[in-house]
Amino acid sequence: MIKYLEIKHKPSNLFPAKFAKDILKVLQVIDKSKENLKRVLSIKCFGDSKYFEKNIEHIIVRIIKAYLLKGYNQEEYTNDDILLQVRNNQIS
């Protein structure tokens, strides 16, 4: 995906090229992590406790809502609920 974005320069609104590598890094860490704290995740990935929350969280939540929560009542879920449920593989 990153190579495609670099070559084609056609990122989707859901996956901005500027944050592509950061998004993939977070998804890898979330998958392996036992902790749910955003700031701990942010420090692990970026060395900055607020980087994830400021730059990446809303993008990942938009992707999840578009692809995994399609058809669900999305207003029931907070961003924290969405990230936790995806991490625990409860949304499919």
Residue 84: count other Cβ atoms within 10 Å of its Cβ: 15
- Total structural domains in the chain? 1
Does residue 31 fall inside a structural domain? yes
Does residue 78 fall inside a structural domain? yes
Tokens linked to 20:
């592509």
Q: In the chain, which stretches have pLDDT less than 70?
A: 1-14, 31-36, 87-92
Does residue 64 fall inside a structural domain? yes
Does residue 56 fall inside a structural domain? yes
Separation in Å, CA 15 to CA 35, 47, 56, 73: 25, 22, 10, 23
Domain span including residue 68? 2-87
Does residue 92 fall inside a structural domain? no
Residue 55: what pLDDT? 92
pTM over 0.75: no
Residue 91: what pLDDT? 54
Residue type, 36: N
What is the C-alpha separation between 74 and 44, in angstroms, rounded? 29
Give, as one character, the DSSP assignment of residue 68.
Answer: T
Does residue 43 fall inside a structural domain? yes
Residue 13: count other Cβ atoms within 10 Å of its Cβ: 8
